[in-house]
Each structure stands twice: as C-alpha cells, then as structure tokens.
C-alpha cells in the first residue's frame, strides 16, 4: 500500500511512520478504543508502554492527538532508543515527545530503536531482508552493517545473506525526512 492509499483510509497521517498499515501495527478491528470509547474500524496493535495493558485497545486517532498519552501516560516508543545508535544524530525533545507520545511504533524483535539523521528523527518505512535492503541502496546497507560491530566482514556477509523481511534477522528501514537517505538498524532474536 502506498502512502497515498494509506492516506485515503481516513486514518491520521503520522509524520514519523510512513505506513502503519503496511507495517502491521494498525489493523482493521471492531474493538472499542479504551481512550475515546469509539469503535472506528481500526486499532493499534504495536507496543504500548503504560501501567495498564493496552494491547489492541487504542485507536490511531487517540495516539495521533496525544489523548492516549494524556489519559493513560501511554507511550509507544522508548525514548532511550531514539537516536541511540553509533553515529546517529541527537534530536530536540519536541521530536522525542512526538515519537514517544503520538507515533505508532513498529514490532521489533527486541527493544525498538529509532534512527535519526540530519538533526531529526527519520520516518519508519518498513521491515527489510537481504533483497529489500539491496533495493534501498549501498548507503543504507553500510549503515546497517555499522549498527552491530561484527567480528569480520565474513560475519556481516553471512548475517546479511540470512536477513528476511518477516523473520530473524531483520532490518528496520527508515528514511530521513530532510535529505531522503535510507538507514536504520537490524536485529536478531
């Protein structure tokens, strides 16, 4: 689904998450949102950090407008993971707040990280395996390669060849909103 098609769903558009339907953290559902009490046909299925359990109980609108954060002190990305990679840019607190409090996360194998570039957080694009990373280009691959400092070039090549879009190891691809560069990180369980 392209971003234009996602925008035609009537869902809120998230600056830092290109297409939460494609990344499978917003899905169709008749569930009534615990925040607004409305069943809107869509529900968030990604990580929620709060005192209460909110798995598949918050609508995208209550995330986008900050109501879920205000009402339940819910966040969707751990602020420690924003810009935490080697060589990643630091970002203003307002950006950290928008990502943690008003942006759907993505489903990571372990604790999610959020790539930063050009002094801003990047936009989460999609999960990627070996073949998809090749399409994103060599600069993206080099950023992925540097994320984990493997023992040798051979170790990297073995890991890179093993990457699959829908299982471990997997890459999380982001796009810089300022320069358009692709980057991110990879993980394995």
Mean pLDDT of 65-73: 97
In sequence order, the 6+-apart residues with CB closer than 8 A to the CB of 162 are 130, 169
Query: And the tokens for 114?
Result: 């959020």
How large is the angle between the packed helices 138-147 and 153-162, nearest 10 degrees? 110
Mean pLDDT of 102-128: 94
**Alpha carbons 48 and 64: distance in angstroms, whole number:** 14
Query: And the tokens for 159?
Result: 């890991």
Q: Is residue 23 over pLDDT 90?
A: yes
Phi-psi region of 83 (alpha: psi -120 to 50; beta: other; left: phi over 0): left
* Confidence tier at 89 by pLDDT (50, 70, 90): very high
Q: Is residue 67 over pLDDT 60?
A: yes
Query: And the tokens for 163?
Result: 């990457």
**pLDDT value of position 148:** 78
pTM above 0.75, yes or no: yes
**pLDDT value of position 7:** 59
């Amino acid at each position: 689904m392209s971003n234009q098609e996602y925008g035609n769903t009537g869902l809120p558009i998230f600056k830092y998450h290109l297409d939460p339907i494609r990344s499978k953290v917003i899905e169709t559902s008749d569930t009534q949102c615990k925040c607004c009490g409305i069943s809107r046909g869509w529900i968030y299925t990604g990580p929620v950090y709060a005192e209460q359990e909110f798995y598949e109980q918050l609508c995208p609108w209550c995330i986008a407008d900050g109501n879920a954060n205000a009402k339940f002190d819910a966040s969707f990305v751990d602020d420690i993971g924003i810009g935490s990679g080697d060589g990643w840019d630091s970002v203003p607190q307002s950006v950290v707040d928008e990502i943690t409090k008003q942006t759907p996360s993505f489903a990571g194998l372990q604790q999610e990280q959020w790539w930063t570039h050009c002094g801003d957080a990047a936009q989460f694009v999609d999960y990627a395996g070996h073949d998809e990373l090749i399409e994103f280009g060599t600069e993206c691959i080099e950023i992925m390669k540097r994320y984990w400092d493997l023992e040798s070039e051979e170790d990297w090549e073995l890991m890179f060849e093993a990457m699959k879009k829908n299982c471990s190891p997997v890459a999380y691809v982001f796009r810089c909103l300022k320069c358009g560069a692709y980057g991110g990180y990879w993980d394995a369980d």
